[in-house]
Structure 1
Amino acid sequence: MSDIRSRYTDSLHFFGKHSPAELVEKWGFPLYVYNENVLRARCRELKALSSHAGYMVNYSVKANANPVLLGIIREEGLVVDAMSPGELYLDRMAGFAPSEILYIANNISQQEMRHALDAGLLISVDSLSQLETLGRINKGGRVMVRFNPGIGAGHHQKVITAGKETKFGVTPDLLDDVLAICRAHDMQLAGINHHIGSLFMEADGYIAAAEVLLHLAERLPAAVLHGMSVIDFGGGFGIPYHKYENQPRLDMDDLGRKLHALISGWAEKTGYTGRFLVEPGRYVVAECGIILSPVNNVKYNGDTCYVGTDVGFNVLARPAMYDSFHDVEIYAGPAGASHREDKEQTIVGNICESGDILAKKRLLPAMHEGDILGILDAGAYGFSMSSSYTQRCRCAEVLIAADGQARLIRRRETPEDLARCYAV
């Protein structure tokens, strides 16, 4: 391929039998492109972490809810969660049965609880108040409770979901209150779970938090523990976003050895026969997704070179929201792929907001109008967090299938789609 910066996707044959230019010529800009082979490979790495009979991988659908991708994930043997009626609808659309869906609740209404109960789902609650509410409408039913292990992890304060500075979970010192509420409503504590945060790159913190949850389980009365069917350690498995700096991957062999030893040893010690879940979202889908966008404008303001693209924070919110890093590739446009000197450039979107910055002061080959930009690792929290802010239509999504052929898996929105819900 005669492109300027494409070593990573070239090594994976990411675009299959197509070039980025061919894809955008057919489906337009900006465009989300997913690779089936990468998606299946990540599912299999996660499944291989443990051979324990009760070990399962629970995909967090909030990362990417496209039902075609969900169907592939189901084929690979993963189960899923849902944390809204919309996610539940897409889970079922992809073919997941109620026993394969866990409803992760956070400050939801009685109406939403009833919706999940009517679907036959096990609901996870994360406060005593929500546990009381569920008990009133689900007397004699089953429940899962999310605890806060006091250990947080993540690349940004906004993605840390455990510890004293977050809204999530019941603190372990309230275990007796949890059990009392369950008794009062004749509910079975069917599971416990936690989630420490997002994007951990070392195994030890995750294993330490898992041990905290298992120690909590050991405090349960024997009859409660033996009646439980789910212990969910949460997710946060990180991926190397700095592809062109050769950032090391999370050592899955190391994580697998430690996780398998922990759960198999604990099950043998306690007699627990239920499921152990890990709950990755990002690790499953992040690396299978790339956004393609044209370079529309190159200009200077003072000493800063700005490269203007179609990828505003309506298309990819993570950089504006979390100051997240996404590596980029450059595919040659009309200026060709002749040698280009590296220079510092800031890549921005087309939204009229000063925070609409995709990549700040990156040393990259000089870009020209008409080049195609590839934003890597956009499969997780990319399209799922996109919006129609400034009434821009959301992107199309395309899948590069295992045979290298591309197919549309979500059409581009139209202005008519934006107007459909208005009553005028």
Structure 2
Amino acid sequence: MSNVRSAVTDEQEFYGLSTPMELVETYGSPLYVYNENILRKRCRELKALSSHPGFRVNYSAKANANLSLLRIIRSEGLVVDAMSPGEIAMHLAAGFTPDEITYVCNNVSAEELRNAVEHGLLVSVDSLAQLELLGQVNPGGKVMIRINPGIGAGHHAKVVTGGKDTKFGIGPDDGDKVREILARYDLTLAGLNQHIGSLFMEPDSYIEAMKFLLREAEQWDDIEVIDFGGGFGIPYRKYEGQARLDMQAMGEQLHACISEWAERTGYQGRFMIEPGRYVVAECGVVLGTVHSVKNNGPRRFAGTDLGFNVLQRPVMYDAHHDVEIYREDGTPVAETMLQTVVGNICESGDIMARERDLPEIQEGDIVGMLDSGAYGFAMCSSYNQRQRPAEVLIDSDGKDKLIRRRETIEDLLSFYPEFAATAEESKKAANM
């Protein structure tokens, strides 16, 4: 489809039989678009990391919980984690069975823990207080605990989840306290898990943390599940030639680590990794429309409908997403200029891409923020009372289909009692 700036999606045949302009014309703007073939490829790369019979890929669904994507992920043989009652409901609707769902929660109520237990899920807790609460809710049951390995990794302080500066996990020195609580409530410690952070691009810290958790596992009987966490990085700077995480090297080290340990200890349970981003990030692009272009002094701004209500990562994490530019009858443009891509939210921080060297953006262009399948739609909001966008899947045959409709103003009003009855009547009429 070669366009103004589209080399990455051209190579991937990302939009299948459609163009970005056609998709926006059909489904509106902004618009999340996912590619099924890329999603399946990433699932298979992760499954190929180890042939050990106990190895499982546990998709961290907070990255993206769209029902259609969950069904594809399940069809590729991945299991899934949940961290809220809503995620449990989505996973069950997608076809996952209770033995395929792990509840990995953080600072939740007794009601939430009871809900997970009643659904037959193995629950992982990450503090002594939560372990105590689960014991009160489910005496005599099984539990996982999240260990803080003291090792952190990630591209931003807000995504580092291991080490002393984070809220997550039970310290490795708290073993005696854990045993006291387990005994008090006749709980069986069935699993251990950890997470060091997000977006690592070298395997060393992850393998180091794996070895730490395996040493911890040797101190406990009855362990059935060892979950090493996720954080597998993807190259967000594709136009700069950023290298991929070496999955072959990662797999060789991971497989050797778990195979040698299992042989030495006689362990016959499950080993799990818990990726989210790696599964879905690269299968997603969010499209937006350029409505205004202007200069403020020396700075050039391209104003779009991609506010941080649609894509939060650049504002929240200073995250980089490559930008592509499409227009009707567009052709590749080599000459570039510094431009800042901004959204339509009334905040000075509403910046999607700051001071980028890009071909000149024009009003009416469609821009695509690449690699937005993870923590894109999942973190959307209705800030400024804007409605969340639609989601579309490009299937394995290149055809597009709607997998989540665009929200409406009626949806926003339906949460208020005086409008709820009208909204319900409208739904019934639409289904007649």
TM-score relative to the length of structure 2: 0.96
Is the CA contact (8 Å cut-off) linking 1:342 and 1:366 kept in structure 2?
yes
| Higher mean C-alpha displacement, 337-346 vs 14-23 | 337-346
Aligned equivalents of 2:247, 2:331: Cα separation in 1: 37
Aligned equivalents of 2:175, 2:314: Cα separation in 1: 38
Aligned equivalents of 1:403, 1:166: Cα separation in 2: 44
Equivalent residue pairs, number: 418
SS of structure 2 residue aligned to 1:195: coil
Is the CA contact (8 Å cut-off) linking 2:217 and 2:223 kept in structure 1?
no
Instruction: Note if 1:117 corresponds to 2:117.
Output: yes
Task: Calculate the aligned-residue CA RMSD, in Å.
Answer: 0.9
Q: How does 1:219-258 map to 2 (within 5 A)?
A: 219-220=219-220, 224=221, 227-258=222-253
Q: Partner of 1:135 in structure 2?
A: 135
CA drift of 1:339 comes to: 4.1
Aligned equivalents of 2:260, 2:2: Cα separation in 1: 53
Match of 2:417 among 411, 417, 423: 423
Q: Partner of 2:379 in structure 1?
A: 385
Is the CA contact (8 Å cut-off) linking 2:5 and 2:333 kept in structure 1?
no
CA drift of 1:176 comes to: 1.7
Is the CA contact (8 Å cut-off) linking 2:2 and 2:10 kept in structure 1?
no
Q: Partner of 2:357 in structure 1?
A: 363
Q: How does 1:39-78 map to 2 (within 5 A)?
A: 39-78=39-78
Q: Partner of 1:10 in structure 2?
A: 10
What is the letter of the counterpart of residue 124 of structure 1?
S
SS of structure 1 residue aligned to 2:417: coil
Q: Partner of 1:85 in structure 2?
A: 85
Aligned equivalents of 1:333, 1:180: Cα separation in 2: 67
CA drift of 1:218 comes to: 1.6
What is the letter of the counterpart of residue 275 of structure 2?
P
Aligned equivalents of 1:338, 1:270: Cα separation in 2: 58
Instruction: Note if 1:293 corresponds to 2:294.
Output: no
CA drift of 1:184 comes to: 1.3
Aligned equivalents of 2:223, 2:114: Cα separation in 1: 22
Q: Partner of 2:426 in structure 1?
A: none
Q: Which runs of 4+ in 1 moved over 6 A?
A: none
Instruction: Note if 1:326 corresponds to 2:321.
Output: yes
Q: List runs of 5+ in structure 2 lacking aligned partners.
A: 419-432
Q: CA-to-partner distance for each residue in 1:56-82, whole Å, 9 max, x for gaps? A: 000001000001000000000000000
CA drift of 1:423 comes to: 1.8
Q: CA-to-partner distance for each residue in 1:76-96, whole Å, 9 max, x for gaps? A: 000000000111100000000
Distance 1:338 1:102, change over 3 A: closer
Percent identical pairs in the alignment equals: 63
Is the CA contact (8 Å cut-off) linking 1:105 and 1:126 kept in structure 2?
yes
Aligned equivalents of 2:334, 2:279: Cα separation in 1: 35
CA drift of 1:137 comes to: 1.4
Match of 2:307 among 304, 312, 315: 312
Instruction: Note if 1:214 corresponds to 2:222.
Output: no
Aligned equivalents of 1:371, 1:50: Cα separation in 2: 44
CA drift of 1:337 comes to: 3.3
CA drift of 1:183 comes to: 1.2
Q: List runs of 5+ in structure 1 lacking aligned partners.
A: none
